Structure 1
Amino acid sequence: MSGPDWRAALDASGVLRRLACFDPHVAGTFPLGLAVPGSDIDVLCHAPDADAFAAALWEGRGDFDHFAMWQWKRADRPVIATFRVAGVPFEIFGQARPVREQHGWRHFWVEKRLLRLGGEDLREAVMTVRRQGAKTEPAFAQVLGLEGGPYRAMLDLEDLDDAGLLDVLKVKGSPGG
């Protein structure tokens, strides 16, 4: 699914308005044009007060189908909520660190840059792997021939300038390079 369907669901959810004080950012496969059936709309939030964030999510739950919320046990204890609006799945992630420092945003940003540089050939190569069931970061890592864990490997690319990313695209023999 792409185009107006996910945007309409996002608008209908009202989550950007409801969570405005948590600096929400839409990330993930929909804005990248890499969604496959079952993809969700990812909204990343800066939630230094996990209880306040959870309360804000809980307050709006009546508008959402299949609402679920939980909190991780790791150090900064992010809060995650999932639900559906207009049949489209959502995942809301609130973490104490600012959105631009969160791994999800950092992955999104480097993927966006790679797609801009690699063009439609790179997008189609990643989509081919995604259609086979791969998550986004592993799909990019496979297409680019990156070594090691795909999530770390993608983060390792974020400090490269465009020339460096073009070198990765060329060296790895990926489409668009």
Structure 2
Amino acid sequence: MTVNFKNIDYLKTGNEVQRKTYRLLHDYQIVDCLKDYDPIVVGTIPIQIDVAGSDVDIILYVQDYDVLERMLCFNFSRHAHFQLQRAESNVILCSFSIEERLFEIYATDKATENQNGYLHMLKEYEIIQLRGEEFAEQVRRLKRSGIKTEPAFCRLLGIEGDPYTELLLYNHIDNSMSYD
């Protein structure tokens, strides 16, 4: 099954966490506020490998950082745990909570469909589609034990090296090994 992750409508009919995420994004007009920045919801919730406490990750494409910072402050600073920082000259990080769900926004001057957060999610989704629900549950189990998503995938797939780089290079045709 192919999912258009660039349009949040798929969340409307997903699992309970996805439906709540959609409701929050819609009711609090989060995606509407971010629409000029090509937002994509990425991470574990879209591909159903989230665990308790997983946040909603949103990536953005930005050209004018000052304008984005002002917009984020104006629209989201009233929410609990609001934080905004320009981590580097080309990255803005913003986080806040709504109804006990943490939202994390990552903005950079790279097109959203070329950002690693999106590319990792697509690769992880592809692997889950090939390996099935049992594999997805093994990823969730590792995540509950404290292992981050990409390292969990790499451990199960027998991939060595930097998990954030190597996962993107993973080719299921060349690597049809068992994950048991």
How far is 1:12 from its partner? 2.8
How far is 1:166 from its partner? 4.5
Q: Are 1:13 and 2:20 an aligned pair?
A: no
How far is 1:167 from its partner? 4.1
Show the counterpart of 1:28.
Answer: 43
| 2: CA distance, partners of 1:48 / 1:69 | 17
Q: Are 1:174 and 2:179 an aligned pair?
A: yes
Q: Is the 8 A contact 1:64 1:83 kept in 2?
A: yes
1:102 to 109, 115, 119: 115
| 1: CA distance, partners of 2:173 / 2:20 | 32
Show the counterpart of 1:149.
Answer: 162
| 1: CA distance, partners of 2:79 / 2:105 | 12
Q: Is the 8 A contact 1:117 1:166 kept in 2?
A: no
Q: How many residues align?
A: 165
Q: Is the 8 A contact 1:42 1:92 kept in 2?
A: yes
| 2: CA distance, partners of 1:95 / 1:52 | 13
| 3-state secondary structure, aligned to 1:68 | strand
How far is 1:59 from its partner? 1.2
Per-residue deviation, residues 83-139 of structure 1 (Å, max 9, x unmatched)? 011110000111101001111111111111111111112111111111111111111
**Runs of 5+ in structure 2 lacking a partner?**
1-15
How far is 1:62 from its partner? 4.1
Show the counterpart of 1:47.
Answer: 62
Q: Are 1:117 and 2:130 an aligned pair?
A: yes
Show the counterpart of 1:80.
Answer: 93
Q: List structure 1 runs of 4+ shifted beyond 4 angstroms.
A: none
Per-residue deviation, residues 42-80 of structure 1 (Å, max 9, x unmatched)? 00111121112111111102442111010122xx52101
Q: Is the 8 A contact 1:114 1:165 kept in 2?
A: yes
Q: Is the 8 A contact 1:13 1:63 kept in 2?
A: no
**Runs of 5+ in structure 1 lacking a partner?**
158-163
Q: Could you tell me the TM-score, scaled by structure 2's length?
A: 0.85
| 3-state secondary structure, aligned to 1:165 | coil
How far is 1:153 from its partner? 1.1
Letter in 2 for 1:9: L
| 1: CA distance, partners of 2:18 / 2:57 | 15
Q: Could you tell me the TM-score, scaled by structure 1's length?
A: 0.86
Per-residue deviation, residues 10-44 of structure 1 (Å, max 9, x unmatched)? 22332110010000001111111111122100001
Q: Percent identity?
A: 28
Q: Which has the higher contact order (CA 8 A, sep 6+)?
A: 1
Letter in 2 for 1:174: Y
Aligned-CA RMSD value: 1.6
